[in-house]
Structure 1
Amino acid sequence: MGIVSQEAILELQALMDSVDESLSRTFQNVNQGFRAETLARFLKARDGNVAKAHKMLVDCLHWRVQNNIDEILAKPIVPTELYRAVRDSQLIGMSGYSREGLPVFAIGVGLSTLDKASVHYYVQSHIQINEYRDRVILPSASKKHGRPITTCIKVLDMTGLKLSALSQIKLMTIISTIDDLNYPEKTNTYYVVNTPYIFSACWKVVKPLLQERTRKKIQVLPGCGRDELLKIMDIESLPHFCRKEGSGSSRHSENRSCYSLDHPFHQQLYNYIKQQSLTTEPSRPIKQGSFHVDLPEPAAEGTEIARTLESELQKIDKGNGLSKSISGIKIDDD
């Protein structure tokens, strides 16, 4: 379990044994029976400090209770056309598994526009994928392999990354902060592929600001990353944008379905959520409207990274007004 000692895990476990019933109940949804591994994740996120890890975990559980996160998998985004619009603009999908059994998530960073719905829908969608991963996919993988599988792999495609795409930096910071505070250490490795110049310029200034444990997880691969990724997964699990050198990740690629609502992963996820909603409230019609979650303030590190990125982008863009669009993200009520 890395830098985390068994003694620290036992100490944190003793502290968690005293939390009230509501926190204990949501903690079961967090750990899915892998209590020690979950405690280790929060300890890693706080460099092994038991007191800080305890505060982080308790804060996470309070966030879950206050925002009804345990119920979010029973709250579908409807109508289907709206969810399809979210999927077409928030490009994420699961392409398969590594040879070690870790789920492989593909994320189209460069081509995600995040402009077809309010912030709350994108946050809801992101948390639902997190919860489905943690409550359905990872327990199933653990059962199949007969050992705890509690993390995933993410392949980040930078194809199409432009200055205008980074105008959504505030939303990306919100989502990143939610993950940092409430889903720590869930990603084993981030593989970054198809990197244009703008990524290289931003990475140069952001990399020194990241914590060492985060930097160690990020691998920037040459080209589409095919050869390196085939060392850890079969070709069937490669995201479509890694299949051919130089192919990029065209939005019209025949393999793009990894992101699409029509892909089996998203079909299973969406059907699961609809079924959960019918099981939870069988007599009530499904209502349109996003599942509002308290949007966190970014930590000091996140704020510094966002500020540094904005400064670097201003240099690249030679002051054409991009910084105004970065700070002007719209958060609608619906």
Structure 2
Amino acid sequence: MGIVAQDAIKQFQALIDEVDEPLQNTFRNMHQGYPTETLMRFLKARDWNVAKARKMLVDCLNWRIQNEIDKMLAKPIIPTDLYSAVRDSQLIGLSGYSREGLPVFAIGVGLSTLDKASDHYYVQSHIQINEYRDRVVLPSATKKYGRYIGTCVKVLDMTGLKLSALSQIKLLTTISTIDDLNYPEKTDTYYIVNAPYIFSSCWKVVKPLLQERTRRKVQVLQGCGSDELLKIMDYASLPHFCRREGSRSSQNSGNGTINNCFLLDHAFHQQVYNYIKQQASNLESVAPIKQGSFHVDMPTPDPEGTKIAKTIESEFHKLEDQNRLSNSLNGVSINGD
């Protein structure tokens, strides 16, 4: 670490030491014993500008207090049928670990419909996965590998991506904004696999809009991506949609359902479910658990995020128009024959 970085961290730490006790408490819960590494994440997210990093972190701590994020893992999505519906339509799972010990999160972007519950449930579910990652998965990996592990790898499956995904851009932008503002620099690399033409077309126009720091993290792989991914992880940690025999579908693997990390009965989701259930029972003696989603303040996307969302929307509409024109011409051709 350079002298400039060390000075920035010292300045930042001094400023955070001055905040009120409630903010200190949620900061301790957030950094999980690694305050310096946490400060570095916020500094990186603000290009090492201490004043901007301080504002970002204080805003994040206030957001955590106002929305009771520290209690998020004690707020189950109930009833069970609703939780199951959320899991079936918001495809995410932990498929394993890289050889460096980074958790590998698989995300079924193309086949996630996000239409079985209100937006608040999907936001709640997403934050719970984030919190479980930060409070349970990463500390466990740190202990297992004997060194600090504070980031993960994400493999995004674009199988099934359609123009209808346009209807979910607002929700996806909200979730992305929550991550950008409150969980910065938690992903080491994003690997895009099984990318159809619709993604490739959008990526060409979106890529230049991303910050250089973000662009460097995104790698679009050929096909199901197994050849490249096997350079950083063992076969057992490959998401099921990256295995050649099961690469055609995010939800159905040629190896059967045992390797499908999206399913509710997968070990990861059972662990998350049981953990939340246990935390909830600990709180239930104080106050009964209420049915209903845990509403979180929806952040306003920053100008950059809004621009990207509008660009994607515009690109989708262009593709939609091209498809209509193509179908219309095909119809004329058929009738002409």
Shared fold per TM-score greater than 0.5:
yes
What is the letter of the counterpart of residue 311 of structure 1?
A: S
Structure 1: how far apart are the matches of 2:283 and 2:131? 17
**1:236-285 deviations in Å (ceiling 9; x for gaps):** 10000001167322423324630111111000001000100111222654
Number of the residue aligned with 1:261: 264
TM (norm. structure 2) is 0.92
- Counterpart secondary structure, 2:163: coil
| Residue 319 of structure 2, aligned match among 316, 320, 323 | 316
Pair 3,271 (structure 1): closer, same or farther in 2 beyond 3 Å? farther
- Asked if the contact 2:121/2:293 (under 8 Å) is kept, the reply is yes
Question: Which range moves more in the overlay, 98-107 or 254-263?
Answer: 254-263
* 1:151-182 deviation per Cα after TM superposition (whole angstroms, max 9, x unaligned): 00000000000001232000000000000000
Give the conservation status (yes or no) of the 8 Å contact 1:9–1:36.
yes
Tell me if 1:86 matches 2:86: yes
Report whether the alignment pairs 1:293 with 2:280.
no
Give the equivalent residue in structure 1 for 2:101. 101
Contact 1:224 1:246 in 2 (8 A): no
CA distance, structure 2, for counterparts of residue 319 and residue 244 of structure 1? 32
Q: 1:252–1:178: structure 2 CA closer, same or farther, 3 Å change rule?
A: same
Residue 240 of structure 2 aligns with an amino acid whose one-letter code is: H
SS in 2 for 1:258: coil
The answer to which of 306-315 and 203-212 deviates more is 306-315
1:114-166 superposed Cα distances (whole Å, 9 cap, x missing partner): 00000000000000000000011101111111211000000000000000123
Q: Distance in 2 between matches of 1:22 and 1:283?
A: 21
CA distance, structure 2, for counterparts of residue 26 and residue 245 of structure 1: 45
* Contact 1:158/1:192 (8 A) holds in 2: yes
Which residue number in structure 2 is paired with residue 64 of structure 1? 64
CA–CA separation in structure 2 for the residues paired with 1:133 and 1:2: 29
Q: Is 2:282 the counterpart of 1:275?
A: no
Which of structures 1 and 2 has the bigger CA Rg?
A: 2
Q: CA deviation at 1:3?
A: 11
Question: 1-side partners of 2:188 and 2:65: how far apart?
Answer: 27
CA–CA distance in 2 between the matches of 1:262 and 1:228? 28
Deviations 1:198-256 (A, max 9, x none): 00000000000000000000000000000100000001100000011673224233246
Deviation at residue 311 of structure 1 after TM alignment: 1.2
Aligned position for 2:128: 128
What's the % identity of the aligned pairs?
75
Check 1:9–1:113 CA distance in 2 against 1; reply closer, same or farther (3 A cut). same
Give the structure with the higher percent helix: 2
Gaps of 5+ in 1: 322-334
Alpha-carbon distance in 2 for matches of 1:92, 1:166? 20
**Secondary structure at the counterpart of residue 159 of structure 2:** coil
Residue by residue over 1:87-118, the C-alpha shift from the partner in whole angstroms, topping out at 9 and shown as x without a partner, is 00000000000000000000000000000000
Q: Distance in 2 between matches of 1:288 and 1:116?
A: 17
Match of 1:187 in 2: 187
In the alignment, structure 2 segments of 5+ residues that lack a partner are: 325-337
User: Do 1:207 and 1:215's aligned partners in 2 also have CA atoms closer than 8 Å?
Assistant: yes
Instruction: Indicate conservation of the 8 Å contact 1:156/1:192, yes or no.
Output: yes
Would the aligned equivalents of 1:224 and 1:245 in 2 still touch at CA under 8 Å? no
Q: 1 CA distance for matches of 2:147 and 2:2?
A: 17
